[in-house]
Amino acid sequence: MADPAVARQGLRERKPPAPTSVPASVTRELGDLPPSYSSTAATSKYRARSVPSSTWWEDKDWAVMAVLTLLGAALRFWQISNPTEVVFDEVHFGKFAAYYIRREYFFDVHPPLAKMLHAFGAWLAGFDGVFEFENIGDKYLKYGVPYVRMRSTSAIIGTLQVPLLYGIMRETGMNAAISAFTTCLLIFDNGHITQYRLILLDAPLTLFMMWSFYAYLRFYKQRYNEFSLGWWTWLLATGAGLALTIACKMVGLFTIVTIGFAVLVDLWRLLDVKRGQNMHHFGKHFVARSVGLIVWPACIYLFTFWIHFAILHKSGTGDNFMSPQFQHTLKGNPNLQLTKRVHYYDRVMFKHKGTDAYLHSHAEKYPLKYDDGRISSQGQQVTGYPHNDTNNWFQLVPTKAIPESPANERAVRNGDVVRLLHVNTESYLMSHDVASPLTTTNTEFTTTPANETETYENTLFEFRIMDIPETHKKAVASKADLLHIIHMPLRVSMSTFESPLPAWGYKQQEINGNKNALDPKSAWTVDELTVSPDDPDYEERVKPNPPREVKSMNFFKKFIELQLQMLHQNNLLTSSHPYATSPINWPFVLSGISFWTDEENKKQIYMAGNLVSWWIGVLSVSIYSGIMAADALARRRGEEPIEKNIRRRMHNTAGFFVMAWFCHYAPFFLMSRQLFIHHYLPAHICSCIVGGLVINFVASETIDGPLSEPGPLLLSSAPEPSSPSLASGNNDARALQLYPHGPKSKPERLTRNELTMGARLVMFVLLLALIAVFAWMAPLTYGTPSLTQEQVRSRRIMPGWTLHFA
């Protein structure tokens, strides 16, 4: 065997092979080498530049990041104690922190992670949870609330975004100047600063979104080292980021869609037969990504809810949003102590689960003719009423013989058929084949006199307890069981919704028959119960219940119930709001949100983005789309206006973040709920990244390359420098380009991304404009100092900005 030292000496003395083109496969894989490079020229330039691919310390990136991070922290922490009052949605999220500390269950439409982070910060700050953030403007200092330290949670998280954004830009191959400029678009943005210095959810959301992007970039750059430790590390880090993003707010789903689409494209490429991988190998990739990006994130997401339930184990304000079974798992829940078995001849009040309306009737009749010309039965009105009222009492009348004893034989059970006698009007509840007043596809509910025999069949209703088998004869319990009250002849379920009846119905809710008899939205509970004096167990039943232990409920049942309730309540947020805006306004900052005002001192906080930052973002998205469209048209005509490796890099970087921008912005056009400009913040960050990438594309004719870490997949048999095979002149010569110090060495840059002096000057001018607009809007961002009427008017840059004191 040849001595390695001799082999290395021979390698140094060997003349380079005749110039040959770099193999197309190498160019395709790297996406960085201009096709005009010969292997000799590339090797020469490669050795002459000797720029490692990972040069954070050598290029002083850490110093640049440190300066930018300190600047971001200064702008987010400056005047964080001002105002000394509750601001905007601090009334919600500060209150939720108090509930966490008191361990009282509450309900919110958002997942729990961001709220738990704020609660953890509040706990570290020594907050006792007594102050409840009732109203905007409530004084913190009066009650000794450590609000500065509580707000610092958002400020710290917002500050962490600065080095992360810089890192994202560097990972896409941008130089330090472009990366720093892009980061400044976030640092000096007034909208982000406003959100990131208050007790709000957006800072954790955007941080974890950015981490997901960063981790995925690092994972993708490991593609030539498949299934290595680094490959798995960044795959799992991506999955963790996705889970933490959606665990802050449901809009984190847009980040999952973004990464998911990129992963599908990557898998589609791996499936290409030209890659020489068999289906078994592709299956390993598919399973690995399924585990790392589906199973692993799902486990983390579930774990955040497990912590949420573990902390909030006491009864609280959110009880009524949940099912009775859920409520009975909460310590101190009143329903747990008040629940009773329901017997025949008891008088009860039924309450609708979704709307909290009571089943109600009164002597007034339906009009003979409705506004649309339909004819009604002109029967007695049956409605949903939101208040406890004597007209809500119904008596449970059996349809079978009931023995006097034992007492448990008088219990109303699952599957029993009963009649419901309205106590005040002495009439039985009924339904029939007549359309209801508002919902013409559903049947009308009315009543019939107690002595009427012809309508007997129409007064029969089956009680069906939800979530138990039909054959299970469980006794119905008040304040515990959810019921479907199903009309026997028509097999429709009694239901209601929040849309009010016209004036003739006193704006109460319509009660109708839902043809989907087991619709979860048609669930009722026995909310109030009066024991019949004729009950043989009367004395025992009217006694207060003894103290009861909380019950257990399967975690997954609790999780699913809460998820469905979150989605349902989120869709109900359709009422108007003075600062709600259409998504079409957001990229151009046509409007903002008034967070807080001080009438006495003429101060205010108005959330609006920095026009320079936001307009650069949206214009860059448009410019990228236009350039790519023009390039596609030119290539259809046989022209190549953009060198293919630069085009590939633009697709893989700017194209990815344009897609991210679209995924975080476009879905809002499909939503009917209240929308505000702060919903655009994740999309704005994506557009800032696109801005930096597009500026680099316009200002530079070169790219950094290669970016990805080399590995076995790129060079299946990368030789050591001592390998005799290098002397043969075959394709192993490309190892010299990528592995000059052996296959385990770091790659060296073949090309360098450099900006012209003109481009640097343009960026400097834009940076000055960015800082100038930030400074001009600062009094609206920080709520200080006070401004005169003329000063306020001068800061109303856009006509749609509804500033106070103007």
The string over 640-677, giving b where at least 16 C-beta atoms fall within 10 Å of a residue's C-beta and e elsewhere, is eebeebbbbbbebbbbbbbbbbbbbbebbeeeeeebbb
Q: State the pLDDT at residue 502.
A: 95
Sign (positive or negative) of CA dihedral 238, 244, 247, 251: negative
Neighbours of 202 (CB within 10 A): 25
Q: State the pLDDT at residue 741.
A: 53
Three-class SS state of 291: helix
Average pLDDT rounded to a whole number, residues 441-466:
96
Task: Enumerate residues 6+ apart whose C-beta is below 8 A from 278.
Answer: none
Q: Where are the domains of the chain?
A: 19-49+723-736, 340-544
| Confidence band of 37 (pLDDT split at 50, 70, 90) | very low
pLDDT at 94 exceeding the cut of 80: yes
* Residue predicted with more confidence, 541 or 430: 430
Q: Which of 178, 277, 249, 343 is nearest to 699 (CA)?
A: 178
Q: State the pLDDT at residue 802.
A: 93
The number of C-alpha atoms within 13 Å of 221 and in the hemisphere containing its C-beta is 23
Cα separation, 735 vs 239, in Å, equals 33
Q: Are 174 and 753 in contact (CB under 8 A)?
A: yes
Q: State the pLDDT at residue 497.
A: 92
| 485-488, Cβ contacts within 8 angstroms, sequence gap of 24 or more | 485/350, 485/461, 485/522, 485/524, 486/461, 486/462, 486/517, 487/431, 487/443, 487/458, 487/460, 487/461, 487/513, 488/417, 488/457, 488/460, 488/461, 488/462
pLDDT at 312 exceeding the cut of 50: yes
Most confident region among 550-554, 702-706, 741-745 by mean pLDDT: 550-554
Which tens digit of pLDDT belongs to each residue from 447-459? 999 999 999 999 9
Task: Enumerate residues 6+ apart whose C-beta is below 8 A from 691.
Answer: 182, 185, 616, 617, 619, 620
Angle of CA points 13, 16, 20, to nearest 5°: 170
- Residue 147 corresponds to which tokens in the numbers above? 């609000």
List the alpha helices (DSSP H) in 247-392: 253-270, 279-290, 296-311, 324-327, 334-338
Average pLDDT rounded to a whole number, residues 90-103:
97
Which tens digit of pLDDT belongs to each residue from 146-161? 999 999 999 999 999 9
Q: State the pLDDT at residue 18.
A: 42
Report, in angstroms and rounded to the nearest whole number, the Rg of the chain calculated over CA atoms.
34
Q: Are 28 and 275 in contact (CB under 8 A)?
A: no
Query: What's the whole-number average pLDDT of the chain?
Result: 88
Q: For 627, which DSSP code? A: H
Min mean pLDDT across 238-247, 404-413, 569-578, 792-801 is at: 404-413
Bridge partners, residue 486, by sequence: 462, 493
Cα separation, 647 vs 629, in Å, equals 12
Q: What is the percent of the chain with per-residue pLDDT over 70, rounded to a whole number?
A: 86
Q: What is the percent of the chain with per-residue pLDDT over 90, rounded to a whole number?
A: 72
Average pLDDT rounded to a whole number, residues 650-671:
96
**Residue 366 φ/ψ region, left for φ over 0, alpha for ψ in the -120 to 50 degree band, beta for the rest:** beta
pLDDT at 23 exceeding the cut of 70: no
pLDDT at 251 exceeding the cut of 70: yes
Min mean pLDDT across 12-21, 385-394, 398-407, 572-581 is at: 12-21
Task: Identify whether 83 is preceded by a cis peptide bond (ω within 30 of 0).
Answer: yes
Q: Are 693 and 654 in contact (CB under 8 A)?
A: yes
Three-class SS state of 347: strand
- Residue 721 corresponds to which tokens in the numbers above? 């420098």
Q: Are 684 and 189 in contact (CB under 8 A)?
A: yes
Three-class SS state of 129: coil
- Residue 483 corresponds to which tokens in the numbers above? 């019921």
Q: Which of 539, 397, 412 is nearest to 456 (CA)?
A: 397
Average pLDDT rounded to a whole number, residues 98-126:
98
Cα separation, 614 vs 607, in Å, equals 13
Cα separation, 330 vs 562, in Å, equals 14
| Confidence band of 49 (pLDDT split at 50, 70, 90) | very low
Q: State the pLDDT at residue 51.
A: 39
Cα separation, 743 vs 611, in Å, equals 49
pLDDT at 298 exceeding the cut of 90: yes
| Confidence band of 749 (pLDDT split at 50, 70, 90) | low
Task: Enumerate residues 6+ apart whose C-beta is below 8 A from 133.
Answer: 86, 90, 91, 92, 94, 95, 98
Q: Which CATH architecture has domain 340-544?
A: Trefoil (2.80)
Average pLDDT rounded to a whole number, residues 604-610:
97
pLDDT at 341 exceeding the cut of 70: yes
- Residue 63 corresponds to which tokens in the numbers above? 């110093």
Concatenated DSSP letters of 370-417: -TTS-B----EEEEEESS--GGG-EEEEESS---SSSGGGGB-BTT-E
pLDDT at 135 exceeding the cut of 80: yes
Q: Which amino acid is at 425?
A: T
Q: Are 608 and 589 in contact (CB under 8 A)?
A: yes
Which tens digit of pLDDT belongs to each residue from 255-279? 999 999 999 999 999 998 887 789 9
Neighbours of 543 (CB within 10 A): 7
Average pLDDT rounded to a whole number, residues 623-650:
90
Q: Which amino acid is at 346?
A: D
Q: In angstroms, how far is CA 468 from the centroid of its own chain?
A: 33
Q: State the pLDDT at residue 137.
A: 94
pLDDT at 100 exceeding the cut of 70: yes
Q: State the pLDDT at residue 138.
A: 95
Q: State the pLDDT at residue 715.
A: 55
Q: Which of 599, 612, 493, 582 is nearest to 186 (CA)?
A: 612
Min mean pLDDT across 399-403, 488-492, 512-516, 575-579 is at: 575-579
Q: Which amino acid is at 603?
A: K
Q: State the pLDDT at residue 419.
A: 98
Q: State the pLDDT at residue 751.
A: 54
Q: State the pLDDT at residue 47.
A: 33
Min mean pLDDT across 37-41, 179-183, 467-471, 748-752 is at: 37-41
Q: Are 519 and 493 in contact (CB under 8 A)?
A: yes
pLDDT at 140 exceeding the cut of 70: yes
Q: Work out the widest C-alpha separation in the chain, in whole angstroms.
A: 115
The interaxial angle of helices 611-636 and 656-665, nearest 10 deg, is 120
Q: State the pLDDT at residue 643.
A: 85
Average pLDDT rounded to a whole number, residues 690-705:
84
Residues in the chain: 806
Q: State the pLDDT at residue 423.
A: 97
Q: State the pLDDT at residue 478.
A: 94
Q: State the pLDDT at residue 31.
A: 41
Average pLDDT rounded to a whole number, residues 332-346:
92
Dihedrals phi, psi of 475, to nearest 5 degrees = -75, 140
Average pLDDT rounded to a whole number, residues 468-493:
94
Most confident region among 406-415, 640-649, 760-769 by mean pLDDT: 760-769
Task: Enumerate residues 6+ apart whose C-beta is below 8 A from 543.
Answer: none
* Residue predicted with more confidence, 377 or 644: 377
**Strand pairing report for 380-385 and 509-514:** antiparallel
Q: Give the E-state strand segments of 507-607 in sequence order.
A: 509-514, 524-530, 593-598, 603-607
Q: State the pLDDT at residue 713.
A: 66
Average pLDDT rounded to a whole number, residues 57-66:
77
pLDDT at 16 exceeding the cut of 60: no
